Chain A
Amino acid sequence: MADQPTAFERFVQGILPENPVYRQLLGLCPTLAVSNGMKPALTMACSVAFVLLCANVVTSLIRNLLKPHLRIVVFTLTIATFVTIADRFLAAYLFQMSKTLGPYIPLIIVNCLIICRCEVCASKQSVFTAASDALGQALGFGLALSSIATVREIFGTGMFFGIRLLPSAWPDWVIMVLPPGAFITLGLLLGLVNWIGIVKSRRSVND
């Protein structure tokens, strides 16, 4: 257990160095689907954060009882329980938003990000570490989601959070809020993040 990262390291790593979307390419399905505006993106990020935190804590609490061949099933059922809670909550208090997000809330169950965190971290480390890992990853996921949503909403509708940012003469790039825009935006942002990484590593080599 000595070589496992500490709680703080886990938290910091989740935000940028091991960002779930840009670095690990996990959870791309909701990333692409709900990032056509800031509001759905933030709701999605919050739901994922809630599910990830609860699932990580529960998995960490029962980690000594887990049988290796059954662990994936246990993870999925734990996640499914919390996703049901999140889904019912959204349907009760944010009905319009839950209609907009549609099937993508239940699809959090099969989001590889959460299963991956349960497997990599929560099933091996203590509750506190698992919780801070969940928070870090959720923050990283939220950052990635909102960065994509920012680009898509501003170019696609000229608005940000529903507030007009660009002059109304701006010709809305409708394609940005449609499915192709999601792929292209994520592809370009991914290239940008890779490029920054390459430039940084070159600089550190030169120094």
Chain B
Amino acid sequence: MIYFLDIMLIALTASLINNFVLYYFVGICPFVGVSRKVEMAFGMGCAVTFVISIAALISWTITTMVLIPGAPLSSFIAGFFLPEEAAGKIDLTVLSYIVYIFAIASSVQFVEMYVRKFFPLLYRSFGVFLPLITTNCAILFACLTIMSHIVGVDNPADAWDIGRSMTLAFFGGVGFTIAIVIMSGIREELEICDIPEPFQGAAITLIIGGILALAFMGFTGVDSGIRDTIMPAPTEQNLTMAPLQAEILAQSDF
């Protein structure tokens, strides 16, 4: 139950509350550049969601198997050269950026070849965007977020498992798609608007993005609200809080 709630909240947070584009500013380049037609924006969003899920799968596997201190694969290999004590402590997290970018670049290449071979129609709609996705910050950002929830935690039990990581990546991609499709819908309408000359193009897009970000800020606090409704705070805390609050109220009255 707690696990399911956790997954649900991660999905909600990644897609709406802390939207990748409108809250973390990752993936701004396609947001400004390609979001002219709704169909194209949707294709781009699907391509990003697809690649981001694959990249998250790869990077989660590499992080837990190779990079973190005491990871099974790295300590197994180091066991040949080092005494057992030292082999268990091998920490390769400093290599994480290089490993991730390599994983992303190769998975994009792989996805491109696979889609071209087996889904030619899809390739024709994705095709242009696929190479661009390598330099899309959203994908590296998802990998880094997953890493920070595996490497940075003090308690090993709190480290994210594959389910949480994939949820974050997939719904991050969904959030990207939502933002870019809304934006392209607005931009289709903008074509027939009378915009002052200096603001045409990127400038007006950014200002609209700001208004969209403002609208998405309305989701802030939804996650903690849901968490409190489903799992109310422990009752002992409520008991200790109640007299304290009464005391404060009493003091303020007199």
Contacts and interface: CB of A to CB of B under 8 A. Distances in A.
Given A179-B22, A180-B210, A182-B210, A28 B28 contact: yes
Nearest to A34: B25
Interface stretch (A6-14, A102-110, A139-147, A163-171): A102-110
A77 interface: yes
Interface of A: 25-26, 28-29, 32-33, 72-73, 76-77, 80-81, 83-84, 87-88, 103, 106-107, 109-112, 115, 175, 178-184, 186-188, 190-192, 194-195, 197-198
Q: By DSSP majority rule, is chain A's interface helix, strand, loop, or mixed?
A: helix
A179 B213 contact: yes
A83 B97 contact: yes
Given A84-B97, A183-B207, A187-B203, A28 B29 contact: yes
Q: Name the interface size band of chain B.
A: 35 or more
A103 B23 CA distance: 13
Interface in B117-141: 134-137, 139-141
Interface stretch (B37-45, B66-74, B164-172, B194-202): B194-202
B210 A103 contact: no
Contact of A180 (B32, B204, B213): B213
Interface stretch (B81-89, B98-106, B185-193, B246-254): B98-106
B199 A103 contact: no
B206 A29 contact: no
Contact of A73 (B28, B105, B137, B198): B105
Contacts of B94: 84, 88
A188 to B, nearest CB: 7
B217 interface: yes
A190 B203 contact: yes
B205 A180 contact: no
A192 B131 CA distance: 33
B34 interface: no
19 contacts: A25-B33, A28-B25, A28-B32, A29-B27, A77-B98, A80-B98, A84-B94, A103-B148, A110-B135, A110-B136, A111-B137, A179-B22, A182-B25, A183-B206, A184-B206, A184-B210, A187-B206, A190-B206, A195-B198
Given A28-B32, A77-B102, A83-B97, A191 B23 contact: no
* Those 5 A-B pairs whose CB atoms lie nearest each other, nearest first: A183-B210, A187-B206, A187-B207, A184-B210, A194-B198
Nearest to A190: B203
Contacts of B26: 29, 107
B97 A76 contact: no
Contacts of A198: 197-198
A80 B26 CA distance: 18
A197 B135 CA distance: 30
B210 A181 contact: yes
Contacts of B29: 25-26, 28-29, 112
Contact of B98 (A26, A29, A81, A197): A81
Q: Which of B135, B137, B198, B199 has the most CB of A within 10 A?
A: B137
**Which of A80, A115, A197 has the most B CB atoms < 10 Å from its CB?**
A80
A107 B203 CA distance: 23
A37 B14 CA distance: 25
B24 interface: yes
B97 A109 contact: yes
A118 to B, nearest CB: 12
A162 to B, nearest CB: 23
B175 interface: no
Nearest to B33: A25
A191 B199 contact: yes
Nearest to A107: B137
A192 B198 CA distance: 7
